[in-house]
Amino acid sequence: MREPADKIMTAKEAIGRFVHDGDQLVIGNYTVGSCAELVYEVIRQGKKGLTLYSQSGIFDVEVLVGAGCVEKLVTTYVLRAGGKKGGSAVERALNAGTLQIEDYTNFDYNARMVAGMHGFSFMQVLEGVMATDLFRKRSFMGEDKFRVIKCPYTGKNILTVPAANPDVCIVHVQRADKNGNAQYWGAMGSVAAASLASKRIIVSCEEIVEHDIIQSSPHLTIIPAYRVDAVIEIPWGAHPTEVLGYYNIDPFMYGLFMMSDATADGLKSWMDEWIYGCVNRAAYLDRYIGRFGSEILDGIRAKAFYSAPANYGSAFTTRWDREGRERFMGLTMAELEKTFQERGKLYE
Amino acid sequence: MSKPYTLQELLVIAVAKEIHDYENVILGVGLPTTAGALAKALYAPHATLMMESGIIDFKPLLPLNHIADAHSCRGFSYATDLFSAFTMTYRGFVDVCFLGVGQIDKYGNVNTTAIGDYYKPAMRLPGSGGAADFMSYAKRTVLTMLGGNFVNRLDYMTSPGYLEGGDSRERSGLFPKGSGPCMLLTTKGVFRFDDVTKEIYLSQIHPRVNVEDIKMEVPWDLKIAPDLSETPRPTDEEIEFIRNFAPAQSAGRELALELTVANMMRKAKVI
């Protein structure tokens, strides 16, 4: 049972209240539409000692590691800027000994979230990995990175991964209502599992919508209200990545980031300007438009391609017909009550 | 004095009061749906009503035909699947669930599968459906027994109550701490479970019933609450809600069926 607290707040309040030093933090989004503004707020608040779960690391993991928020990283894929001559925050931190990493396959990582989402303590994964260094090379998880058990039905060796239940998930979606029902569509990836596996959930969205919208499209809801701790409306909240139906990826800002990320100094000056230098997303957008004009953003705004509405209607929504007769018994309320009386059904 | 009411209305209200505001509630068909609708309208507006078919956070406008009846509402908040509905219960996100009873024993263990020999049943009942898993992992279970029996020994144990009583449910290590049945409703009274022994006892008695009537239906020496009370009289607001929402529920199954058939015959003659 949840407290009747108001869940609508700012990113600053949400990250301040629900993300703590030393937490296991999962970025709920996968490759597209990363929760950029929530990530930036974690950095601005200088959170430390995080164990970061990321299905597929892009600029989001780079800036969190570059800012020194992360001690341990569980992932399947990291970004490297500038090819052979370039570099990455993850690579630099590994070399400096300030970051430990566990590498999984996409499937293994997702299986850990699915196990966590359903309350299972482990999940069977695809055993081919046992022939690789993904299985053999282990860091902070040690023996518990993978374990092998015997299938009780076939006798075959089965590879398993432990469930993950991160302390807190940050996730960006298209829309949510004030209760926290979060709707997301497009590449489903592992977004729902990462969110639902977590103990606390912070949702940012492009738009907060009326509950009626949610009620008429429940198939789009990926996180039910009762699981959500905070709802933050952040237009352009995933920029420079893309949100289907709202905007495309911004190759210009992404390019600026990639050019900077190859060196520690470059990344620091990029973060000084675009993360530390902007108190929130509105300030970030002001700075962006101030420096580059609004043409780039206007050019990546989505043109509408609406999904066909699904009909959730039924024949009637009350047991009484237009003449006030109960549909099956054919009686009005007065007639029904008279029948109750005659049959001795009523307790005076 | 509030307006006259039917026994069925009294039963719905007794069950509805087990739903508290902001709780997550798994509903079953029949009396629990009407109770859920009543609770959401009058006592627990922020309760999240759910069904194991994956319909989450709905407001019933009609009594449900079955546990996958999206025709009973106008949309809902979250469409998930059966597997996830059970695992969310397993993880502790369901506060209260409602289950029907065929046979019940002293410690709230329940049979909804078969009367007599399981393999050659005198009466084959529906089975578990969601019952065994919900009763295992919901924080509380409200049981309703409208046609069933108290027995010393179940013919088949479908759903786990307090096992052998005392701390045996907790000691088994299979269930969340503090979970288990919290109430049994019958047409004669409301029963609850002793905090320590987990033995069922009579807690409330419905009007026009006396304790001896109830004791006769229980094959052991039924314990009676020292502060035994009469089930509270419904308010006009409660009666009116139920009668409008589920008139057939107010009438009770037999009368509703009789009136429905009579109505159909009348219509057939007109044609």
SS3 label, residue A252: helix
From start to end of A127-199, where are the E strands?
147-150, 157-162, 168-176, 182-183
The answer to whether A58 and A70 have CB atoms below 8 angstroms apart is no
| B21 shares contact with chain A (CB less than 8 Å) | yes
Tokens of residue B56, six digits: 């989450």
* A283 and A331 together in one domain: no
Find chain B residues with C-beta within 8 A of A193's C-beta: none
* pLDDT computed for residue A3 by the predictor: 52
Among B192, B259, B202, CA closest to B225: B202
Position A4 in a domain: no
The answer to whether residues A151 and A103 belong to one domain is: no
Same domain? For A105 and A77 the reply is yes
**Chain A residue with minimal CA distance to B258?**
A329
Q: Which residues of A touch B57 (CB under 8 A)?
A: 181, 224-226
CATH class of the structural domain B7-270: alpha beta
Cβ pair B110, B143 in contact under 8 A: yes
Judge contact between B25 and B94, C-beta under 8 A: yes
Does residue A53 form part of some domain? yes
Closest A-chain CA to B88:
A118
**Domain ranges in chain B?**
7-270
Q: Please give the ipTM for the structure prediction.
A: 0.91
The segments of chain A whose pLDDT lies below 50 read 1-2
Domain stop point among A141, A162, A183:
A162
Residue listed under structure tokens 């829309």: A175
Within this chain, do residues A113 and A242 fall inside the same structural domain, yes or no? yes
Judgement on whether residues A83 and A213 belong to the same structural domain of the protein:
yes
Does A109 lie in the same domain as A141?
no
Q: Which of residues 101-130 of B touch A (CB under 8 A)?
A: none
- The first and second tokens of residue B224, run together, are 């009676």
State the best of B78, B242, B253 to mutate against chain A, taking most chain A CBs within 10 Å: B78
Mark which residues 65-84 of B lie under 8 Å from A by CB.
70-72, 74-80, 83-84
- Whether A29 and A133 share a structural domain: no
Distance CA A158, CA A152 (A): 10
- Binary contact (A4, B21; C-beta < 8 A): yes
Asked if residue A272 and residue A215 are part of one domain, the reply reads yes
Count structural domains, chain A: 3
- Closest residue in A to B3 (Cα) is A348
Judgement on whether residues A329 and A223 belong to the same structural domain of the protein: no
* Contact by Cβ (8 Å): A52, A73: yes
Query: 3-state DSSP call for residue A201?
Result: strand
Is residue A306 in a domain? no
Q: What is chain B written as a DSSP string?
A: -PPPEEHHHHHHHHHHTT--TT-EEE--SSHHHHHHHHIIIII-TT-EEEETTTEES---SS--SSTT-GGGSS--SEE--HHHHHHHHHTT---EEEEE-SEE-TT--EE-SEEE-SSSEEEE----TTHHHHHHHSSEEEEEESS-EE-SS-SS--B-SSTTSTTHHHHTSSS-TT-SEEEEEESSEEEEE-TTT--EEEEEE-TT--HHHHHHT-SS--EEEEEEEEPPPPPHHHHHHHHHH-HHHHH-HHHHHHHHHHHHHHHHHH-
Q: What is the pLDDT of residue A1?
A: 44
Supply φ then ψ for residue A334, to 5 degrees.
-65, -40
The residue of B77, B80, B95, B265 whose CB has the most chain A CBs within 10 angstroms, and thus the best one to mutate to test that interface, is B77
**pTM for the full predicted model:** 0.94
Are B202 and B216 in contact by the 8 Å Cβ rule? The answer is no
Instruction: Report d(CA A303, CA B137) in Å as an integer.
Output: 47
**pLDDT score for A5:** 66
Domain hosting residue A28, numbered range: 11-118+165-299
Q: Looking at the structure, do residues A294 and A322 belong to the same domain, yes or no?
A: no
B61 token code pair: 């406008």
Q: Which residue of B has its CA nearest to A176?
A: B77
Structural domain contains residue A307: no
Of A340, A341, A342, A346, which to mutate for an interface test with B (greatest number of B Cβ within 10 Å)? A340
Residue A176 lies in a domain: yes
For chain B, 271 residues long, give each residue's pLDDT as a single digit of tens: 789 999 999 999 999 999 999 999 999 888 999 999 999 999 999 999 999 999 999 999 999 888 889 999 999 999 999 999 999 999 999 999 999 999 999 999 999 999 999 999 999 999 999 999 999 999 999 999 999 999 999 999 999 999 999 999 999 999 999 999 999 999 999 999 999 999 999 999 999 999 999 999 999 999 999 999 999 999 999 999 999 999 999 999 999 999 999 999 988 887 6
Biggest CA-to-CA distance, chain A: 93
CA distance B238 to chain A (A): 14
Signed CA dihedral, A146, A148, A153, A154: sign only? positive
Tokens 């409200």 label which residue?
B142
User: pLDDT value at position B30?
Assistant: 82
